[in-house]
Amino acid sequence: MISDQWRAEREAISLRLRTRHRARARGEWLDHHCLFHDDHHRSASWNETTGTYYCRTEDRTWTPPEVTERLFLVSVPASQPRPQRSLPATVPTAVYTYLWPDGTPSHLKLRYEPKRFLQSFF
Ligand SMILES: [Zn+2]
C-alpha cells in the first residue's frame, strides 16, 4: 500500500516535470529530457503510479528520492549561495517534518496564522 507521503512526493515529481521539463504524457509515462545527463531528446520517462524513473539512453533507473533531490536541487547551482528568503517575523503555529520512507528528513512545513504555509526542503 502506498502512503500519502509517497503519493505526494510522486505527484510533486510529475508536476515539476510537467512545468519545468516539458514532459509529454504517453500512457502512464511522462517522457521528458533526462535529469541525469545532457539530454537533447526525451530519453527519460517517469511513471508516477509505480514510482519508476527510467532513462533509455543510460539504461538505468532512479528511485523517487533520487529524482526529487535532482529535480529540486538542480535549479540552484551549488557554487552560488542560495538567495536569502526573508522569513516572517511571526512564530509558526505548527511545524510539520516530512520524512523519506527510510527515515531521513525530506522537508519542513511551517504553518502560520492566518493560514499560510512555508515549505523548506533539506
Ligand atoms: Zn539519462
DSSP calls for 41-81: S--EEEETTTTEEEETTTTEEE-HHHHHHHHHHTTS-TTSP
CA distance 40 to 108: 34
Environment of ion ligand 1 (residues, CB < 5 A): 34, 36-37, 55, 58
**What pLDDT was estimated at residue 21?**
87
Q: Give distance in angstroms: CA of 7 to centre of ligand 1.
A: 24
Q: Spelled out in words, what is the top-level CATH class assigned to the domain 4-73?
A: alpha beta
Q: Give distance in angstroms: CA of 58 to centre of ligand 1.
A: 5
Q: Give distance in angstroms: CA of 34 to centre of ligand 1.
A: 5
Would the CA dihedral through 70, 74, 14, 95 be positive or negative?
positive
Decide the pairing of beta strands 60-62 and 29-32: unpaired
Q: Tell me: the pLDDT tens digits for 22-78?
A: 899 999 999 999 999 999 999 999 999 999 999 999 999 999 999 999 998 754 455
Q: Give distance in angstroms: CA of 8 to centre of ligand 1.
A: 24
Instruction: Tell me the mean pLDDT in the region 1-14.
Output: 86
> Domain extents for the chain?
4-73, 88-122
**What pLDDT was estimated at residue 2?**
58
**What pLDDT was estimated at residue 86?**
64
Q: Give distance in angstroms: CA of 69 to centre of ligand 1.
A: 15
Question: pLDDT-based confidence at 80, cuts 50/70/90?
Answer: low
**What pLDDT was estimated at residue 88?**
57
Q: What is the pTM of this model?
A: 0.58
Reduced to 3 states (helix: H, G, I; strand: E, B; else coil), residue 5 is helix
Q: Tell me: the pLDDT tens digits for 11-32?
A: 999 999 999 888 999 999 999 9
